[in-house]
Amino acid sequence: MTKKILSIILSLLMLVPLCACEDRVDTDDYAYVIAIGVDEGEDKDIKITFSFANSIKIGGGSSGGGGGEEGEEGNLINFTISSTSMFTGLDILRNNISKKVNLSHVKLIVFSKDIAKKGLSEYTDGFIREFKIRPITFMAVAEKSSEDYLNALSPLMAVNPEKYIKNLFSRGKSDFGAKIDIYTFYINSQVDDKDVVLPMVGVISEKEDKNEVTNEKIKSDSMDISAIPLKSKNKATIIGNAIFKGDKMVDAGENSEQLFLNILRGVAGTFDYTVGKDSPDQIVLTIIQRHKPKVYADVSGASPKISTVIPLECEITSLGEGKLSEKDYKKIQKMLSSELEADLKKYFYKISREAECDAVGYGRYAKMSFDNWETWKNYDWQKRIPYIQYDVKVQGGILKFGIIDEGYKP
């Protein structure tokens, strides 16, 4: 009996260490990085800004963000350090905060324009190999400083900054948004048949914010978006696009140009477009792109010839008089084709002749004309991009309803 009791006591004593919580890690023990900014530092160093989720504010349901009000922390807490490399900076960061740094929730990496012009391969190569940072993390270029952008970032109408950033940069089919993640950039920067476009972000200054808001109608297809009124506590916004050739930024574009790129790629989805811009009676069309453009590439000559046919479905959203005849429909369809074709050609010649890059990816169609890899390499597609002879046709079928018969008399 005594031996049995001793055995039970000994078994219980052996189970005690197995139930211990000495090495447990709670969620409060982690510091979750939501965004990373990379800027040029002094000498050869780089400045790295880490944006952490403020778990206290998020748990409390605060609607504030960024730096919050004066003397108040928001949903993001930023740390900026100077280091020789990204991963050395991470080591410095770990030694200066009490919590364990967690990179699995990083949703955005922002590079300054100066860094982007020198090339991003040395950074993206490291991020691809860093298993803690997911390859679906979004990338962006800051017009000036990524540190300023992250400090100004104030997620409005969202308590969780991670969800805010994810929703903001995942709208790949919106008029003004480019969707590029680390993996996509890494792959396209290694090939010679397609280049990439990243969203460019910036901070609206107080001077710009205080400008008087005009009653001028802002159109999504306007090539000038600088007049768009913006009055908001959140001064951090997407202001344009950064055009890359390989891994280096070579040019910048207007925000609305992303719409034209999406149309040429066949991923525009649903968008609005205004025809008759130069006439008093402007007509707004809701356009749906359901099918990919048909692309034809001719590389038989010294200058490549690219022609594309873009089928679109259109519906009239608003018009002046509110009634249309059959002739009016044909006129609107003709206006849509001519005006949109002009906008698309203007955009394509900008990226091909000025930036000398193939953001649409026509090189992949041209490559199909070659029998082997060696002849394709000898053709040297990248050097021929500025000399592409381009033609685009828009086939816009307009949904007809309420047609007025001119001969009808009630």
The pLDDT, as a whole number, for residue 221 is 46
Q: Hey, what domains does the chain have and what are their CATH numbers?
A: 27-255 (no CATH), 259-404 (3.30.300.210)
The pLDDT, as a whole number, for residue 219 is 43
pLDDT tens for the chain, 410 residues long, are 677 777 777 777 776 666 555 556 666 778 888 999 999 988 888 999 999 888 776 665 444 444 444 334 577 888 899 888 888 888 888 888 888 888 888 899 999 999 999 999 888 888 887 767 888 889 999 988 899 888 888 776 667 777 888 887 876 545 556 778 899 898 888 888 899 999 888 887 655 544 443 333 334 444 444 444 455 556 778 888 899 998 999 998 887 788 899 999 988 888 888 888 777 678 888 888 889 999 999 998 889 999 999 999 888 877 666 566 777 778 888 888 889 999 999 999 999 998 899 999 999 999 999 999 999 999 999 999 999 999 999 988 887 665 554 443 44
Query: CA-CA distance, 200 to 391, in Å (whole number)?
Result: 29
CA distances from 312 to 175, 222, 270, 292 (A): 16, 19, 10, 10
Contact 217, 135 (CB under 8 A): no
Residue 21 phi, psi (nearest 5): -115, 25
Nearest Cα residue to 204 out of 259, 128, 144, 137: 144
Query: CA-CA distance, 140 to 332, in Å (whole number)?
Result: 38
Angle between helices 257-265 and 326-349 (to 10 degrees): 100
Amino acid at 74: G
- Global pTM? 0.78
Q: What is the largest CA-CA distance in the chain?
A: 113
Nearest Cα residue to 336 out of 282, 383, 394: 394
The pLDDT, as a whole number, for residue 226 is 43
Residues 6+ apart with CB under 8 A from 160: 53, 58, 75
Residues 6+ apart with CB under 8 A from 148: 142, 203
298 in the Ramachandran plot: left (φ > 0), alpha (ψ -120 to 50) or beta?
Answer: beta
The pLDDT, as a whole number, for residue 391 is 93
SS3 per residue for the chain: CHHHHHHHHHHHHHHHHHCCCCCCCCHHHEEEEEEEEEEECCCCCEEEEEEEECHHHHHHCCCCCCCCCCCCCCCEEEEEEEECCHHHHHHHHHCCCCCEEECCCCCEEEEEHHHHHHCCHHHHHHHHHCCCCCCCCEEEEECCCHHHHHHHCCCCCCCCHHHHHHHHHCCCCCCCCCCCEHHHHHHHCCCCCCCCEEEEEEECCHHHHCCCCCCCCCCCCCCCCCCCCCCCCCCEEEEEEEEEECCEEEEEEECCHHHHHHHHHCCCCEEEEEECCCCCCCEEEEEECCCCCEEEEECCCCCCEEEEEEEEEEEEEECCCCCECHHHHHHHHHHHHHHHHHHHHHHHHHHHHHCCCCCCCCHHHHHHHCCCHHHHHHHCHHHHHHHCEEEEEEEEEECCCCECCCCCCC
Chain centroid, CA 349 distance in Å? 22
